[in-house]
Amino acid sequence: MVELRGVHKSFGSVEVLRGVDLTVTRGEVVVIIGPSGGGKSTLLRCVNLLEPVTSGRVLLESEDLTRPGADLNRVRRRIGMVFQQFNLFPHLSAIDNLTLAPRKLLKVPRAQARERALTLLKRVGLADKAGAYPRQLSGGQQQRVAIARALMMDPHVMLFDEVTSALDPELVSEVLDVMRDLASSGMTMLCVTHEMGFARELGDRLVFIDGGVITEQGRPADVLDRPTHERTRQFLHKVL
Ligand code: ADP
Ligand code: MG
């Protein structure tokens, strides 16, 4: 579904990703953990080429996104991304946040876009908030709107970058519930998170990134309970 082959990424003279190989199969939930500054966000941004890679290849459903002339806009529609900061359009209601991209980019008729948006808002438990503006919603609600918005484009892969990190603790579970529902529906997911309970429960694989390389990966229970590298042990000791 997603394949990174020897991906390097530098910002100026600073090499942030130093040769990442990662293959994600259809329906797999891969959880990415690791110390701050290790390159987790950069890795996700390279998957949908929000950041162009310095070298290496990125493939989505066997299509090489890094080849010259790749139609990135078309390909990016197959990848949904949700960030730590909710990034909703503040001047648009929840439902208009959802319908904007399909209407503008895909020319979906208004009524059809709204019908789909209502279905998705219902799926994330916000059917009654369609007309609410972001400032009228809690952080957890805003993040659920952001997830629903990403789903509007029918993505084949969803990328989550610390989507619960900015939330008050009591709002974390409502967002994780939505991610659990997505995972069980068979969505392919790459999730950067500090929620080790989530990683253990829903992750098919846990990947530890440190200093721009994958230093350890495996079944979540194995990595969490029996890390083989000292760096992983130190990190887990701090977060668990
Ligand atoms: P993580 O998400 O694991 O905390 P990041 O991928 O955000 O790590 O960052 C990895 C490193 O890359 C950090 O040292 C960060 O300062 C640097 N970095 C990230 N984005 C940029 C950028 N646009 N320009 C320069 N340096 C960047
Ligand atoms: Mg990050």
Report pLDDT digits (tens) over 30-66. Answer: 999 999 999 999 999 999 889 999 999 999 999 999 9
Nearest CA to ligand 1 atom 23: 11
- For 238, the 3-state DSSP assignment is helix
CA–CA separation, 240 vs 238, rounded Å? Answer: 6
Nearest CA to ligand 1 atom 15: 37
Where do we find the tokens 């946040």? 97
User: Would you place residue 157 in the very low, low, confident or very high pLDDT band (cuts 50, 70, 90)?
Assistant: very high
Ligand 2 centroid, distance to 49 Cα (angstroms): 16
- What counts of helices (H) and strands (E) characterise the chain? 9, 10
- Judged by phi (left if over 0) then psi (alpha if -120 to 50, else beta), residue 162 lies in left
Complex confidence, ipTM: 0.98
> Candidates 16, 20, 43, 207: which one to mutate for ligand 1, based on the most atoms within 8 Å of Cβ?
16
State the DSSP H helix or E strand holding residue 55, giving kind and residue range, or none if neither.
Answer: strand 55-60
Q: Which residues approach ligand 1 with their CB closer than 6 A?
A: 11, 16, 34, 36-42
What percent of the chain is predicted at pLDDT more than 70? 100
pLDDT at 82 over 90: yes
Residue type for 31, please? V
Nearest to 56 by CA among 26, 21, 101, 95: 21
